[in-house]
Amino acid sequence: MENRAKQDSLHRSVEIDRMRESLENMRINMMMIRKRKENLTIKAPIDGELGLLDVVLGQSVGAGSKIGQINNLDSYKIEAQIDEHYIDRITPGLEATFERQSERYQAQIRKVYPEVRDGKFKADFKFMEQQPENIRSGQTYYLNLQLGQPVEAVLIPRGAFYQKTGGKWIYVLSSDGSKATKRDIKIGRQNPQYYEVVEGLEAGEKVITSSYDNFGESEVLVF
């Protein structure tokens, strides 16, 4: 009888050990399930506002896939498209201004991209002080970028006359508009809209900037 009781006690001890082992395995499995569940939750690497979500219900998403965009509300940047004419004069550190809701804001070039596409290249600006409130990704602003110290100059609009004269001369209208006289000029700086005339013209004088193909080499045009 005593021997049988010992056997029963040993059997129960083995069963208890097995139950404990089974409970431990169940606990480990439960922890793994909870960890897998946590991994199913998509987490953003930074705090911000969800600006773009490119995913649909039921879609299978692999690890590392991009499904959205988080906007950092404290650190916006401005991407500017600039005419390639200025590519040699645009460098990091140049300052620009723009207006929004009657307020003026300052920005500074942080990075200039060397690639030119469709006659334009890209530059990144950062806000120097405060940035506009309620700003949104994708909004459009027009920046005034200062390439140097402002100076007074005589400007004329770009026109087809340049193909004929090479910018060496131009027809200048008389005060009454009855005739135009050929006059030598000297072109300085230029941009996509204007030529700077450094010699040969006075402020307020009127000129002909259209094509000269029908004028020949006439010294004076009479209207």
- CATH number of the domain where residue 95 is located: 2.40.30.170
Mean pLDDT, the chain, as a whole number?
Answer: 83
Q: Are residues 54 and 37 in the same domain?
A: no
Structure-token pair, residue 61:
């998403």
Q: Which of 169, 175, 204 shows the shortest CA–CA distance to 187?
A: 169
Q: How many angstroms separate the CA atoms of 210 and 213, rounded?
A: 9
pLDDT at 158 over 70: yes
pLDDT at 190 over 90: no
Question: For residue range 30-40, what is the model confidence (pLDDT) as tens digits?
Answer: 888 887 777 66
Q: Are residues 131 and 164 in the same domain?
A: no
Number of domains in the chain: 4
Q: Which of 108, 82, 79, 113 shows the shortest CA–CA distance to 96?
A: 108
pLDDT at 1 over 60: no
Question: For residue range 72-125, what is the model confidence (pLDDT) as tens digits?
Answer: 666 778 898 988 888 888 889 888 888 887 888 888 999 999 899 998 999 999
For the full predicted model, state whether its pTM sits above 0.75.
Answer: no
Structure-token pair, residue 188:
């300085």
Give the structural domain span for 104: 77-145
The better pLDDT of the pair 196, 216 is held by 196
Q: Are residues 60 and 93 in the same domain?
A: no
Query: 34 vs 40, 62, 63, CA distance in Å?
Result: 10, 19, 18
